[in-house]
């Protein structure tokens, strides 16, 4: 099992139906040893819709590029702890953005990064 470091931001890439990759920087938080991301713009974000449509997903962080799976989080217990983690990690440096990522629309898009596997190189 891969253990995530705690970077300020990761680059999440999703594959389009035509094979192209799109990359987007995202804030990531760790709660109870699990990594979580949210769509600050809620369900209207294209990357989020691709993830729900089962697109291939990979992340880039200090450890390199990794293929991952993203699983929606519906349980309110972790969602509240994730809210607290965003506030603690980013609240002082980006308070306005934390309000967005912790709003109800964004909180409804909470995803857990799972099935991360380190790979030597992924195609561009």
Q: Per residue in 43-84, pLDDT tens?
A: 999 999 999 998 899 988 666 777 888 999 878 778 888 988
70-123 confidence digits (pLDDT tens):
999 878 778 888 988 988 888 766 666 766 777 888 888 999 988 765 433 333
The alpha carbon of residue 1 and the mean position of all alpha carbons in its chain are separated, in whole angstroms, by 18
Report helix, strand or coil for 81. helix
Q: What is the pTM of this model?
A: 0.81
CB atoms within 10 A of CB 95: 10
According to DSSP, the residues that pair with 24 across neighbouring strands are: 12
- Cα-to-chain-centroid distance, residue 43: 13
């Amino acid at each position: 099992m891969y253990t995530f470091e705690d970077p300020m931001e990761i680059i999440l890439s999703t594959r389009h139906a035509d094979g192209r990759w799109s990359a987007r920087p995202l804030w990531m938080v760790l709660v109870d040893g699990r990594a979580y991301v949210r769509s600050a713009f809620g369900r209207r974000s294209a990357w989020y819709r691709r993830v729900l449509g089962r697109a291939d997903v990979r992340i880039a962080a200090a450890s390199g590029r990794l293929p991952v799976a993203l699983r929606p989080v519906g349980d309110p217990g972790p969602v509240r702890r994730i809210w607290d983690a965003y506030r603690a990690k980013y609240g002082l440096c980006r308070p306005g953005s934390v309000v967005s990522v912790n709003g109800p629309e964004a909180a409804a898009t909470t995803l857990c990064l799972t099935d991360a596997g380190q790979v030597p190189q992924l195609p561009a």
